[in-house]
Amino acid sequence: MALVVVLHGLAGSANEMAPLAARLTAAGHRVLVPDQRGHGHHERHPADVSRAAYVADVVALLDEPAFLVGQSMGAHTAMLTAAANPSLVRGLVMIEGGVGGSTDDYPERLRAYFASWPVPFADEAAARSFLGDRPITEAWIADFERRPDGLWPRFDPGVMKAAIAPVAAVARWREWESLTVPVLQILGEHGAIPPGEVERMAARRVVVPGVGHDVHLEAPDETARLILDFLAERPLAGGFVSDVVQIGETVRKSPPRDPEFVRRLLRHFELQDWSGAPRFLGIDDQGREMLSFVQGDVWWRPEHEPPSLRSPESLAAVARLVRQFQNWSSNREHERPAGASTGMTARIRPVGSDGSTTGTGMVVGADDLAGMFSRYGRDLQVYCTRRVGPQLAEDVVAETFLVAHERRDKFDPRRGELLGKLSRQWLVPGRWDLRF
């Protein structure tokens, strides 16, 4: 199980997040819920309420890499923490959180609102009468300080303005775009994050219907379920190409460019009982494809490569797999997209068993050989649907050869060399007449 740090929003408290924390703890996670500076039982008038100070407070809590869950300003703090300390953060959940930035007098309006409270409230009924009958009111009341003269909030309006001002001062797009950890954004249908900002963030997100900014209070069960599902995910190495995670015996990923084409293809493979591809299981409640999980190691970086990877036998197996994939996929009719071209200069024509040159056929091309992996160090499988689509068979093979020269990996140049070193006789034994 994981360490999870839950961060409340402006004018909130650890007490407000306690019900969510209890659900996460019941699932076996170790959960920390701090009162942030200027809030709850923390110092009421801290000297430093900068964004850097809040981030430093979170980092000080971490004795191991953790998942960060934040709401509103807490989500902003969590985002900045993840951007500055990627090695300390395993994942990020932003509940009604954005990148910040505002052109109006938002900080002053918040200060004026909190300053308008007729405190001390005589009792809880008086507080409800003024604050309204809503979940956030109950959270505030539960956290009020009980004094002889009545109920007092555990925060100061001026400190709230000072704390939110740096959030509103600048939109942190640079930090957002630098994130390298998995992110889940949970929004309310009637939430406070501007639609334009939500679209630009382009994060994996779930919109909870019928609720507003305080999603965690208005829909506590759904919020907890979404977070627990996120915590159960295991990012797969295929996530270097797209957002691919494992949940139990299933794989979840965003739909490819042409989802219907890919699903028909996977169904075709299933009907043919070909084990070289997973099975399509449906769509989950977050709009992701569900596929069957196949155990294996992706050949993406040196630490993932089995010792036998560079042997001629291994490369020959890759070649046979590519050919098998082409043969299975070429049993269907495919249309090449209008105007599609690989821009390659190689001219490769298939040769029949009698030595005659046959016509060019359409097969399924992935435009990426990164999906190849070893299963148990013996068998080979391939699966990459990020850019899957109809492609000329000759172009697929041409790309296999030219990958060494035109597709070098910026992280590991050796990756682009592997198939380029493969001799033609290994790749297409007796099947292709190569004409350059």
Strand, helix or coil for residue 322: helix
Domain extent listing, the chain: 3-117+153-232, 237-292, 297-435
Predicted confidence at residue 264, as pLDDT, reads 83
Average pLDDT over every residue of 267-272: 83
Confidence of residue 93 (pLDDT cuts 50, 70, 90): very high
Sign of CA dihedral 212, 216, 219, 222: positive
Q: Which residues contact 126 (CB under 8 A, 6 or more apart)?
A: none
State pLDDT tens for residues 301-356.
555 566 666 677 777 777 777 677 766 666 444 443 444 333 222 233 343 444 44
Closest CA to 12 of 127, 112, 160, 118: 160
Q: Which residue has the higher pLDDT, 18 or 415?
A: 18
First CA to last CA across the chain, in angstroms? Answer: 56
Confidence band of 176 (pLDDT split at 50, 70, 90): very high
**270 vs 202, residue with greater confidence:** 270
DSSP 336: P
Model pLDDT, residue 235: 80
Asked if the model's pLDDT at residue 25 lies above 70, the reply is yes
How far is Cα 279 from Cα 414, in angstroms, rounded to an integer?
31
Count CB-CB contacts under 10 A for residue 295: 10
User: Taking the alpha carbons of 65, 66, 72, 73 in that order, is the dihedral positive or negative?
Assistant: negative
DSSP 313: H
Task: Please give the structure tokens belonging to residue 323.
Answer: 């050919």
277, 385 Cβ separation under 8 angstroms = no
* Listed ranges 119-133, 196-210, 253-267; the one with the highest mean pLDDT: 119-133
Higher pLDDT among residues 148 and 265, named by residue: 148
- What is the phi-psi region of residue 376: left when phi exceeds 0, alpha when psi lies from -120 to 50, beta otherwise? left
How far apart CA 256 and CA 279 sit, in angstroms, is: 15
Quote the pTM value.
Answer: 0.70
Give me the sheet containing 372-375, strands edge to edge. 297-298, 372-375, 379-382
pLDDT digits (tens, 9 = 90+) for 52-72: 999 999 999 999 999 999 999
Q: How confident is the model at residue 271 (pLDDT cuts 50, 70, 90)?
A: confident
Least confident stretch, 12-21, 139-148, 157-166, 246-255: 246-255
| Cα–Cα dist 323/397, whole Å | 9
3-117+153-232 CATH choice from 1.10.20.140, 3.40.50.1820, 1.10.3720.10, 3.40.50.1110: 3.40.50.1820
Residue 239 structure tokens? 């996530």
Q: Name beta bridge partners: 432.
A: 350
> Tokens for 111?
């200060």
Check residue 35 and give its pLDDT: 97
Question: Whole-number mean pLDDT of the chain?
Answer: 78
pLDDT for the residue 311: 74
Per-residue pLDDT, 354: 45
What sign has the CA pseudo-torsion 224, 198, 214, 211? negative
Name which residue leads in pLDDT, 267 or 170: 170
Residue 376, pLDDT score: 33
H-assigned helices in 215-362: 215-218, 220-232, 259-271, 312-329
